[in-house]
Amino acid sequence: MEIRGEETALLTDAPVVPPPIARKHATKVIVHLEVREVMKEITDGVQYMFWTFGGSVPGKFIRIREGDMVEFHLKNHPDNKLAHNIDLHAVSGQGGGAAATFTAPGHESIFSFRAINPGLFVYHCASAPVGMHIANGMYGLILVEPLEGLPKVDKEFYVMQGEFYTSGKYGQKGLQPFSQDKAIEENADYVVFNGAVNALTGDKSLQVNVGETVRLYLGNGGPNLVSSFHVIGEIFDLVYTEGGNRPNQTNVQTTLIPAGGSSVVEFKVDVPATYILVDHSIFRTFNKEALGMLKAEGKEDKTVYSGRLEDKLYTP
Amino acid sequence: MLNHYSFVFVTTLILNLSAENSNTGKMVYLPNGVYHPFFKNSDDFDSIRLQAFYMDVLPVTNGDFLDFLKKHPRWQKNSVKPIFADSLYLKALSSHNLSEQPEKELIQSPLTYVSWFASKDYCECQGKRLPTTAEWEYAAQAGESEPVSSENSPLFRRILFWYSQPTVFPLPKTGSAPPNYWGIHDLHGLIFEWVADFNSALFSNDSRTKGGLESSLFCGSGNVSVTDLKNYAAYIRYAFRSSLKASYSISNLGFRCVKDLPLQGGKI
């Protein structure tokens, strides 16, 4: 496949997704991704030292097209403490790029790869100890659009689950270091979407209108837990199981997202509501904060959903 | 821009300031011992016998190095050859206005942004040398009250906690934290340190495919060569070292020196 021209990839922070790729040819895509170790709140009053691709958890969303030649620049900020690298599951080759991008603080590594396989892929840091780097937030998604592109939808969003293991128990205030013991036991304190409690609620809820088609690019950084992803009050019209490039299921209630894996779901919003994104391994939702919101505004359709029609006494 | 005069001025000042720290220039004795490498390839030895040696109680400080630069101007930022130190070399020092009185904390802070070549030459100019990985790890496995920390020692928790804190610049002064069993300060929790054979994990095998870095330190096979799975703290040190090249100058990487015992009798 001929490579024509060159462009720099537009990267976005969750829940924003870069626009669909309009070109119909393969090109050279330059990706600049910077590793930052940043202190942020995981919830009110609880600080955590996140290791990030681009300053936030999850890492920047990367969107390319099948056949593209990617020139990847991994930059490790000079103020960072540790060496990092990147393993992109979209890469065919040694370590998915991990060995080629192992980078000391204050340095930049460059390698290139051909996007041979379309699909939605996880990327993550693979520096030793791998589990700790992932547990601290070093994961994100790279979408390789198939040659024919993806069907047009009205809204696209980027949601990625991950869990955090803190020295203090859930909700304990102050700076919470990573707990290696809890991580080994897979006993997470927080299971969240997009890197923090309430990252997708209130003002930060996903906003759509009734009648619109929605596509969610879903990832799961883990490091340990498999997500039983479900949207309360909605049925997925299409699911691209495990992030493959073809929808292979219709009418799905809950889709599994493996740790280090992805899924794509599409649905049309029929009635106004606040739809709740959850991990239906349900104690994670109610006790560990795996909860997001998608707010749909627009005209009600009582033939689809009536609301409460009557409240009567029941005296058996 | 640094110039020679500012160094002269500054270093005169430092000698007075650093004299206040009784540990400056002090070394301690570590007896013959055995180190069990945390990370090794299948054909490496399970343990390494170490001859007794002396180790600096403190990492080399900015003050120490400014003094060295005065005597060895070839290592000043403007003189050093690029193959011996990258462009970040001595960044923390050069970003300060050295014609003014430097902060006492800066003088006593550990030197960072220093290359392996400069570190090695510094030690040799003092009649010392850089420690080997085995020597450094042998000294660093001590807790406050025992020469070898147990697997559940709070030491490892403290090291992991350090990874969970942002680096504060300028770095805290050396010798602030309690010494370990041998009387050595700051092996953990302040900076990473150069060792003579920092790249040995990379080059300990002729064939990288057999037991080299890719197959041992990265995802997928990372646990095979690790003797203590829970020792994440050491794992991170080994990984950090293998990301280095000898000309690198990094914000949280410094060094200290060691010295062999005299061949026959005598004192250091």
Mutation pick from B218, B230, B240 vs chain A, by most beta carbons of A within 10 Å, is B218
Cβ separation A82–B250 shorter than 8 A? no
In B, minimum Cα distance to A177 occurs at B164
Please tell me the pTM assigned to this model: 0.87
* Residue in A48, A94, A130 closest to B222 by CB: A130
Touching check for A234 and chain B: CB below 8 Å? no
Task: State the nearest Cα–Cα gap between A130 and chain B, in angstroms.
Answer: 6
Q: Which residues, in sequence order, are CB contacts of B214 under 8 Å at separation 6+?
A: A94, A95, A98, A99, B208
Number of H helices, E strands in chain A: 3, 21
Could you tell me how many CB contacts below 8 A there are between chain A and chain B? 101
b/e sequence A61-79, b meaning 16+ C-beta within 10 Å: bbbbbbbbbbbbebbbbbb
- The tokens describing B79, both together, are 């003189």
Among the listed residues A250, A252, A299, A293, the one whose alpha carbon sits nearest the alpha carbon of residue A275: A293
According to DSSP, the residues that pair with B142 across neighbouring strands are none
Question: A36 with A55: CB under 8 angstroms?
Answer: yes
Look at the block and give the residue holding tokens 């700076």: A175
pLDDT of residue B12: 39
Q: How far apart are CA A192 and CA A204, in angstroms?
A: 14
Q: Which residues, in sequence order, are CB contacts of A159 under 8 Å at separation 6+?
A: A14, A15, A193, A194, A200, A216, A217, A218, A219, A277, A292
Residue B254 lies in a domain: yes
In A, minimum Cα distance to B39 occurs at A128
pLDDT of residue B20: 47
- The tokens describing B12, both together, are 């005169």
- The tokens describing A222, both together, are 């883990």
Residue B216 lies in a domain: yes
Residue B113 lies in a domain: yes
Residue B267 lies in a domain: no
Splitting chain A (316 residues) into consecutive groups of 10 residues, what average pLDDT does each group show?
Answer: 95 98 97 97 96 98 98 96 96 92 95 98 92 96 97 98 96 93 94 97 97 98 98 98 95 98 98 97 94 97 94 92
Among the listed residues A129, A132, A194, A202, the one whose alpha carbon sits nearest the alpha carbon of residue A165: A132
Look at the block and give the residue holding tokens 């340190």: B193
* Ranges assigned E (strand) in B11-139: 27-30, 33-35, 48-50, 53-56
Chain B residues touching residue A166 (CB < 8 angstroms): none
* Residue in B160, B218, B244 closest to A126 by CB: B218
Chain A residues touching residue B169 (CB < 8 angstroms): 79
* Burial classification of residue A212, based on how many CB atoms lie within 10 Å of its CB (0-12 exposed, 13-18 middle, 19 or more buried): middle
Mutation pick from B219, B226, B238 vs chain A, by most beta carbons of A within 10 Å, is B219
Cβ separation A180–B230 shorter than 8 A? yes
Chain A residues touching residue B251 (CB < 8 angstroms): 78-79, 105-106
Residue B162 lies in a domain: yes
| Helix residue ranges per DSSP H, A158-282 | 180-185
Touching check for A111 and chain B: CB below 8 Å? no
Question: B158 with B189: CB under 8 angstroms?
Answer: yes
Touching check for A178 and chain B: CB below 8 Å? yes
- We report the CATH number of the domain holding residue B94 as 3.90.1580
Task: State the nearest Cα–Cα gap between B105 and chain A, in angstroms.
Answer: 19
Residue B218 lies in a domain: yes
Cβ separation A99–B213 shorter than 8 A? yes
Percent of chain A exceeding pLDDT 90 equals 96
pLDDT of residue B151: 74
CA angle B267, B192, B150 (to 5 degrees): 80
Cβ separation B240–A102 shorter than 8 A? no
Among the listed residues A213, A241, A218, A221, the one whose alpha carbon sits nearest the alpha carbon of residue A136: A221
According to DSSP, the residues that pair with A264 across neighbouring strands are A217, A240
Please state the domain count of chain B: 1
Chain A residues touching residue B161 (CB < 8 angstroms): 167, 177
- What sign for the dihedral angle of Cα A182, A185, A187, A191? positive
* Ranges assigned E (strand) in B44-186: 48-50, 53-56
Cβ separation A106–B248 shorter than 8 A? yes
Selected residues 128-167 of chain B with any CB under 8 Å from a CB in chain A: 160-161, 163-167
- The tokens describing B165, both together, are 């804190």
Touching check for A106 and chain B: CB below 8 Å? yes
Question: B135 with B50: CB under 8 angstroms?
Answer: yes
Touching check for B170 and chain A: CB below 8 Å? no
Touching check for B218 and chain A: CB below 8 Å? yes
Q: Which residues, in sequence order, are CB contacts of A172 under 8 Å at separation 6+?
A: A46, A166
According to DSSP, the residues that pair with B56 across neighbouring strands are B27
Q: How many CB atoms lie within 10 A of CB A233?
A: 15
Q: How far apart are CA B194 and CA A104, in angstroms?
A: 13
Cβ separation B236–A106 shorter than 8 A? no
Task: State the nearest Cα–Cα gap between B32 and chain A, in angstroms.
Answer: 31
According to DSSP, the residues that pair with A65 across neighbouring strands are A145
Q: How many CB atoms lie within 10 A of CB B143?
A: 16
Q: How far apart are CA A258 and CA A246, in angstroms?
A: 18
Task: State the nearest Cα–Cα gap between A115 and chain B, in angstroms.
Answer: 21
pLDDT of residue B222: 44
Model ipTM? Answer: 0.82
Chain B residues touching residue A48 (CB < 8 angstroms): 164
Chain B residues touching residue A128 (CB < 8 angstroms): 217-218, 222, 235-236, 238-239
Cβ separation A105–B250 shorter than 8 A? yes
Residue B20 lies in a domain: yes
- The tokens describing B215, both together, are 């197959």
Q: Which residues, in sequence order, are CB contacts of B97 under 8 Å at separation 6+?
A: none
Splitting chain B (268 residues) into consecutive groups of 10 residues, what average pLDDT does each group show?
Answer: 42 42 84 80 71 97 94 93 94 64 78 97 96 94 89 81 83 92 96 92 37 46 47 81 93 96 62
Edge-to-edge strand order for the sheet containing A273-279?
A206-209, A291-297, A273-279, A227-232, A254-257
Measured in whole angstroms, the distance separating CA B197 from the mean position of its chain's CA atoms is: 12
Q: How many CB atoms lie within 10 A of CB A6?
A: 11
Q: How far apart are CA B22 and CA A276, in angstroms?
A: 63
Selected residues 177-216 of chain B with any CB under 8 Å from a CB in chain A: 213-214
Cβ separation A130–B251 shorter than 8 A? no
Task: State the nearest Cα–Cα gap between B14 and chain A, in angstroms.
Answer: 26
* Residue in B160, B165, B248 closest to A104 by CB: B248
Q: How far apart are CA B230 and CA B228, in angstroms?
A: 5
Task: State the nearest Cα–Cα gap between A168 and chain B, in angstroms.
Answer: 12
* Burial classification of residue B157, based on how many CB atoms lie within 10 Å of its CB (0-12 exposed, 13-18 middle, 19 or more buried): middle
Long-range contacts of A33-36 (CB under 8 A, 24+ apart): A33/A59, A33/A60, A33/A62, A33/A72, A33/A73, A33/A74, A33/A75, A33/A86, A34/A75, A34/A76, A34/A77, A35/A74, A35/A75, A35/A76, A35/A77, A35/A80, A35/A84, A35/A103, A35/A125, A35/A138, A36/A77, A36/A80
Residue B256 lies in a domain: yes
Q: How far apart are CA B100 and CA B170, in angstroms?
A: 16
- What range does the domain containing B36 cover? 2-261
Cβ separation A79–B169 shorter than 8 A? yes
Task: State the nearest Cα–Cα gap between B139 and chain A, in angstroms.
Answer: 22
